[in-house]
Structure 1
Amino acid sequence: MCCLLWLSLVLSYLIEVNKGQEKMEVYRASGSSMFFPGVPEDDRDLAKFFQWEVCRGNAENETTTGVVQFHAGDTKPSLLKKYIGRLDFFPSNGSFVLQNLTSSDEGLYMLFINLRKVTAQTVRLQITDQLSKASILSNSSSLASTISLTCDVSGKPHGYQWQKDGKEISRPHQLMNRNRSLIIPSARKGDCGTYTCIAINPVSFTQADYTLTIYGIPPEQIVIIVASFAGLILSLVPFIGLIRLCWFKRNTRQASLRQYKLLFLSLFSSNILSLVAIFTALAFWIVLKGAAPMSVVAICFVAILLIFAVTASIAIWNPDSIRRFLGNTSFRASLDVSGIICSFIVIAISVVILAEEIQQNNQGCHVIILAWSTLAPLMVLLVIIFSVYFVIWRCGDGARSQGEQQGGRELQSLNGINADQEPEPEYLQRS
């Protein structure tokens, strides 16, 4: 595609015919050669004297010098000293080839036949360097800033063209400085990609690629970060509190019913708020970034846990439920574990979302999303942790129950012995 583009522009610059074939403009690179055509075949018999001249400068300061002369019957042409060894003349039609071109060879070359100017053989030669060492310079990579991409090329380009990911650029991109600079106002995440600058002149072309990475967090994604962070903080409170209650419930059994109610309501209220926060973060994530399978499963799971947590909190407020809760260790253990599981899940999802946002901010546009894949291993770890916890809790509770039963039997046996032994009468004690 670049080659076709270059050829089309080269053809437009290579030969430029003005006003009835009177002047031909040709571009050549330094060090190359140029062929200057002679008279047509029908006029060759009439040509007795060939003379080429070159005109340099502008209309106010114009100089004309000879290049080559040849009379019919001469053995070799007459050349200026600067052209000796570089010019090959063809006496049959007056054409010649000039080699090792330099910038001093620029000018308007005119052919005279028999001292008469031939307008069809008027050539304007332009010498230009080949383009090389192209690069793209950027002034910024921040979100919502005005980014300017400037094409820097060694040589004299005659034109520039820009592409984005192999396609033509579109609005709101703007071209300035004769298309050398590409302006991206109010850069967004969608503006990142691979930009290509193609610099062209009639003798060569070159291109440079630049991968634009835009750093920053879009304003609409701040809700995701704030909600995830709030869910993470709020979930730590019931997570730590419920674990402490599970491990130190012997001491807490002496607490009053009101204290239990307030304690568990505060823990479960924090748990509910954390679930609401993470549900909000997941909802915004799905709306803004699409419904990935893991995110959909996560939001459904969080919704189920939220319903369960609200139901448990309402049940705890009922005094009858509190009494059953205090009297039934299995119900209490399941409620404790469910609260801890909710907190653990909220912590895991919050960490995954925050890791995704940090990763996108650090890597800009080209993000390899890996954080969601860690959610499944976290769930497996959750099952292992609470399986171990449940075994330890049951063993400890069984040992404590057995110890209490044994202590009760010893106390009863001791009380029984003291009851069987009646005190001696007072008169026996006196004797």
Structure 2
Amino acid sequence: MLLCRPWELLGSGWVLLAGLLLPLQMFAGVVGALESKATAVGSRVLLPGLGNVTHIDSTCWEFLNGSRSQPILQHSRGSPSPTIQEPYKGRALFHPTNGSLLLEDVQESDSGVYKVTINVKESLEILLEVLKPVSRPQLWTSALVAQAAGQVLCRVAEGKVDTISWKKDGHPVPPGRASHLSHSLSILYLRAVQRSDCGSYSCNASNRVSWQETSLNVTIAGLSPRLQDALRVAVVAVVIAAISVWGLVFPVCQSAKLRIRGELWRWLSAYTCGLVSLSSGLAGAAGLLWMQEEGPSVAIILPEIALTYAIVINLLVTVAVTFRPAVFTQLKSKTAQSTMGYAAPAGVVLVVLTSSFLIKSIHQRHEEGCRGLVAVTTLTVSTAAVAALPLLTIFLCYHSRQRRLGECDTTWADRALEMSQPSSRDAADPQ
């Protein structure tokens, strides 16, 4: 009632304002509301008409592509079924009773704004979004080592992704640990990886029409590749040192009469000292690998110095015994003789102590992860077989020589006994 005669109340200014508001109200009635729908590629979707209209005289559907309008159909009351325009012909079904439009086998190109106009003056715009369903996410990890930083990555190959969420053992991952580098890639950061980070991680990717989830069982390695190499080298050093013990003990356990001598002694001594020198070098290499990973340590540096000394002395003994065995008989210094004599046993003890310390420390680091320990059984057996083969050859040669000497002694004894007994002719002659 007030708007019918505004000039009587507010004067000419309000008359002008009312004149501006009236076209806007009419435009709002024509444009109507904007609805939104989402559907998957290849499915069917129903675009509704105006639900508040009881009497429909005419209906017009069109696709708004930017500033251009592409007609779909136009229908008037009492007229036959409308002609569906391309590219909707054969896959659009119109319901004249309520003005709705059913689209079948929709594609991504069908995404956009659809407008229906009822009775010329009332309309509704529908924003249709046709999406590809998301594919199953791909999960993988970087190298996960205890106390180091790591990542779990989730990538979706197909489909527009709206959200990516993470779970560990069925529980949501705390916010802030995952970042989305793009719509299809998300990274879960693991800082200072520890044993508690082991478990099942799942990545859920979704959009408005679909969702997919993939799980991955994540294990943490307690040892880095460098420490794994250090463990292998330390085990080989201990095995070789243990084999060399047989070469040291065998001559000591023999009696003075049966003690190995001559050429076999040279080869046994040279090979034994060579094994000790090799095992010392391997133990030193394992210590260096450890310090490269863990940093310098006095507990490793001091054995490294002693191992270097053992390498040099045993290597000199090996060379001297092999090429100039007379050097040992020419040594007059008791200190030099003791150094040469005890270099191999001392080297074995040093290798065993250093390698045992490294193996124990590496095993403690392994306990910080949840992955299996490095397999060293095959390496141990193969190393022992290769290292022991020359020693077995020397021992077999020694026993073969002892057997021949025993047969010679028996032959001479039999002959002496035969010569000491009277012959049958002498026994027949009377004295």
The two structures have a TM-score, normalised by structure 1, of: 0.49
The two structures have a TM-score, normalised by structure 2, of: 0.49
